[in-house]
Protein backbone atom coordinates (compact mmCIF):
# COMPACT_ATOMS: atom_id res chain seq x y z
CA UNK A 1 0.00 0.00 0.00
CA UNK A 2 3.00 2.30 0.11
CA UNK A 3 3.71 2.14 -3.63
CA UNK A 4 3.67 5.44 -5.50
CA UNK A 5 0.87 6.60 -7.81
CA UNK A 6 1.22 9.39 -10.36
CA UNK A 7 -1.56 11.99 -10.08
CA UNK A 8 -2.51 13.81 -13.28
CA UNK A 9 -4.54 16.99 -13.51
CA UNK A 10 -7.74 17.09 -15.54
CA UNK A 11 -5.68 17.88 -18.67
CA UNK A 12 -3.30 14.93 -18.05
CA UNK A 13 -0.52 17.17 -16.71
CA UNK A 14 1.47 15.42 -13.94
CA UNK A 15 1.03 17.37 -10.69
CA UNK A 16 1.83 15.06 -7.79
CA UNK A 17 2.74 11.62 -6.49
CA UNK A 18 0.72 9.93 -3.74
CA UNK A 19 0.51 6.46 -2.20
CA UNK A 20 -1.98 3.78 -3.27
CA UNK A 21 -4.18 4.27 -0.22
CA UNK A 22 -4.74 7.96 -1.08
CA UNK A 23 -5.29 7.13 -4.76
CA UNK A 24 -7.94 4.51 -3.97
CA UNK A 25 -9.76 6.92 -1.66
CA UNK A 26 -9.78 9.56 -4.43
CA UNK A 27 -11.23 6.99 -6.86
CA UNK A 28 -13.90 5.81 -4.39
CA UNK A 29 -14.97 9.42 -3.72
CA UNK A 30 -15.22 10.03 -7.51
CA UNK A 31 -12.53 12.71 -7.31
CA UNK A 32 -10.20 10.75 -9.59
CA UNK A 33 -10.36 8.27 -12.45
CA UNK A 34 -8.13 5.26 -12.96
CA UNK A 35 -5.88 5.72 -15.98
CA UNK A 36 -3.35 2.87 -15.64
CA UNK A 37 -3.73 -0.25 -13.53
CA UNK A 38 -0.24 -1.62 -13.30
CA UNK A 39 -0.32 -3.33 -9.94
CA UNK A 40 -3.19 -5.84 -9.77
CA UNK A 41 -6.30 -5.69 -7.58
CA UNK A 42 -7.34 -5.39 -3.95
CA UNK A 43 -10.31 -7.26 -2.46
CA UNK A 44 -12.63 -5.76 0.15
CA UNK A 45 -15.58 -7.50 1.73
CA UNK A 46 -17.98 -6.15 -0.90
CA UNK A 47 -15.92 -5.01 -3.92
CA UNK A 48 -12.78 -5.47 -5.93
CA UNK A 49 -10.66 -2.39 -6.69
CA UNK A 50 -7.77 -2.13 -9.13
CA UNK A 51 -4.47 -0.96 -7.62
CA UNK A 52 -3.72 2.17 -9.65
CA UNK A 53 -0.41 3.24 -11.05
CA UNK A 54 -1.68 6.46 -12.67
CA UNK A 55 -4.85 8.40 -11.82
CA UNK A 56 -6.39 11.56 -13.26
CA UNK A 57 -8.32 14.07 -11.20
CA UNK A 58 -11.95 14.49 -12.30
CA UNK A 59 -11.71 18.26 -12.03
CA UNK A 60 -9.02 20.62 -13.18
CA UNK A 61 -6.90 21.92 -10.29
CA UNK A 62 -5.11 25.25 -10.67
CA UNK A 63 -1.87 25.00 -8.77
CA UNK A 64 1.35 26.96 -8.94
CA UNK A 65 4.27 25.14 -10.53
CA UNK A 66 6.20 22.95 -8.14
CA UNK A 67 9.51 24.59 -7.19
CA UNK A 68 12.48 22.51 -6.09
CA UNK A 69 14.51 23.87 -3.19
CA UNK A 70 18.30 24.12 -3.50
CA UNK A 71 19.07 21.28 -1.11
CA UNK A 72 22.16 19.07 -1.24
CA UNK A 73 20.55 16.17 -3.11
CA UNK A 74 19.02 18.41 -5.80
CA UNK A 75 22.22 20.40 -6.34
CA UNK A 76 24.15 17.15 -6.88
CA UNK A 77 21.43 15.95 -9.25
CA UNK A 78 21.44 19.23 -11.19
CA UNK A 79 25.25 19.07 -11.54
CA UNK A 80 25.12 15.38 -12.57
CA UNK A 81 27.18 14.33 -9.53
CA UNK A 82 30.22 16.07 -11.04
CA UNK A 83 32.63 18.59 -9.52
CA UNK A 84 31.94 21.92 -11.18
CA UNK A 85 35.59 23.00 -10.91
CA UNK A 86 37.64 20.02 -12.13
CA UNK A 87 34.94 17.86 -13.76
CA UNK A 88 35.67 14.80 -11.60
CA UNK A 89 32.77 12.39 -11.19
CA UNK A 90 32.99 11.16 -7.60
CA UNK A 91 30.60 9.83 -4.94
CA UNK A 92 32.25 12.08 -2.32
CA UNK A 93 30.91 15.51 -3.24
CA UNK A 94 30.43 18.60 -1.13
CA UNK A 95 28.47 21.79 -1.63
CA UNK A 96 30.52 24.88 -2.38
CA UNK A 97 29.14 28.41 -2.22
CA UNK A 98 30.56 30.56 -5.02
CA UNK A 99 30.26 33.62 -2.79
CA UNK A 100 31.12 32.21 0.65
CA UNK A 101 28.49 32.42 3.37
CA UNK A 102 30.75 34.57 5.55
CA UNK A 103 30.80 37.12 2.70
CA UNK A 104 27.02 37.17 2.44
CA UNK A 105 26.49 34.30 0.01
CA UNK A 106 23.19 32.46 0.28
CA UNK A 107 22.09 28.89 -0.37
CA UNK A 108 20.56 29.58 -3.79
CA UNK A 109 20.66 27.72 -7.09
CA UNK A 110 22.94 30.37 -8.58
CA UNK A 111 25.40 30.39 -5.63
CA UNK A 112 25.70 26.64 -4.86
CA UNK A 113 27.59 24.03 -6.85
CA UNK A 114 28.81 20.47 -6.37
CA UNK A 115 32.54 20.26 -5.67
CA UNK A 116 34.97 17.47 -4.90
CA UNK A 117 36.64 17.76 -1.48
CA UNK A 118 40.00 18.74 -3.03
CA UNK A 119 38.56 21.65 -5.03
CA UNK A 120 36.38 22.78 -2.14
CA UNK A 121 39.42 22.78 0.18
CA UNK A 122 41.54 24.64 -2.41
CA UNK A 123 38.90 27.34 -2.83
CA UNK A 124 38.28 27.55 0.92
CA UNK A 125 36.47 30.70 2.03
CA UNK A 126 37.59 32.72 -0.99
CA UNK A 127 35.79 33.97 -4.07
CA UNK A 128 36.54 32.39 -7.45
CA UNK A 129 38.86 35.26 -8.42
CA UNK A 130 40.80 35.12 -5.15
CA UNK A 131 41.27 31.34 -5.45
CA UNK A 132 42.13 31.55 -9.17
CA UNK A 133 39.43 29.03 -10.07
CA UNK A 134 36.62 28.96 -12.60
CA UNK A 135 33.40 27.01 -13.05
CA UNK A 136 32.84 24.56 -15.90
CA UNK A 137 29.36 26.03 -16.42
CA UNK A 138 27.46 28.81 -14.69
CA UNK A 139 24.99 27.48 -12.11
CA UNK A 140 21.28 28.03 -12.57
CA UNK A 141 18.06 26.58 -11.24
CA UNK A 142 16.96 23.21 -12.60
CA UNK A 143 14.23 23.08 -15.23
CA UNK A 144 10.72 23.14 -13.81
CA UNK A 145 9.52 20.51 -16.26
CA UNK A 146 7.58 17.50 -15.09
CA UNK A 147 10.19 15.29 -16.72
CA UNK A 148 12.92 16.64 -14.42
CA UNK A 149 10.74 16.77 -11.30
CA UNK A 150 9.34 13.24 -11.58
CA UNK A 151 12.26 11.54 -13.39
CA UNK A 152 13.63 9.84 -10.28
CA UNK A 153 10.37 7.84 -10.00
CA UNK A 154 10.69 6.39 -13.51
CA UNK A 155 13.12 3.57 -12.71
CA UNK A 156 10.44 1.93 -10.49
CA UNK A 157 7.41 3.06 -12.53
CA UNK A 158 8.20 2.77 -16.24
CA UNK A 159 4.49 2.97 -17.13
CA UNK A 160 4.57 6.67 -16.11
CA UNK A 161 6.94 7.64 -18.95
CA UNK A 162 4.25 8.55 -21.54
CA UNK A 163 2.57 10.91 -19.07
CA UNK A 164 5.75 12.61 -17.88
CA UNK A 165 7.75 13.00 -21.08
CA UNK A 166 5.12 15.11 -22.84
CA UNK A 167 5.34 17.92 -20.28
Domain housing 103: 72-131
Element of type H or E holding 18: strand 14-19
Residues 149 and 106 in one domain: no
pLDDT along the chain (167 residues), means of 10: 87 91 93 87 84 94 80 92 95 94 93 96 93 94 82 84 78
Residues 58 and 78 in one domain: no
DSSP state letter for 142:
P
Q: Which of 160, 151, 154 is nearest to 53 (CA)?
A: 160
**Would you state the pLDDT for residue 132?**
94
Which run of H or of E encompasses 114?
strand 112-115
Same domain, 81 and 51: no
Domain harbouring 96, CATH code: 1.10.30.50
Is 137 part of a structural domain of the chain? no
Same domain for 105 and 152, yes or no, is no
| Sheet strand arrangement including 4-8 | 14-19, 4-8, 54-57, 32-36
Answer yes or no: pTM beyond 0.75.
no
Give the Cα separation of 57 and 65 in Å (integer): 17
Q: Which runs of consecutive H residues, i.e. helices, occur in 84-150?
A: 117-123, 128-131, 146-150
Q: Show the CA angle centred on residue 77, arms to residues 9 and 153, nearest 5°.
A: 40
Same domain, 60 and 104: no
**Residues 91 and 108 grouped into a single domain:** yes
In a domain, 136, yes or no: no
Cα separation, 117 vs 138, in Å, equals: 20
Residues 43 and 83 grouped into a single domain: no
User: Residues 52, 101: one domain?
Assistant: no
In a domain, 123, yes or no: yes
Confidence (pLDDT) at 1: 64
77 and 34, same domain (yes or no): no
Predicted pLDDT of residue 157: 85
- What SS3 state is found at 46? coil
Q: How many domains does the chain have?
A: 2
Do 8 and 61 sit in the same domain of this protein?
Answer: yes
Instruction: Look at phi and psi of residue 11 and say left if phi exceeds 0, alpha if psi is from -120 to 50, else beta.
Output: alpha
> Does 93 map to a domain?
yes
Amino acid sequence: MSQQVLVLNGNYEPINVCDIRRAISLIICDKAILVVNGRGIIHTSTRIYPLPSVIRLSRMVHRPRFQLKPVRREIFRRDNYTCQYCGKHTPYLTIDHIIPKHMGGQQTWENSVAACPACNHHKGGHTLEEAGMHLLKPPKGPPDSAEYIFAHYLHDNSEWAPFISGW
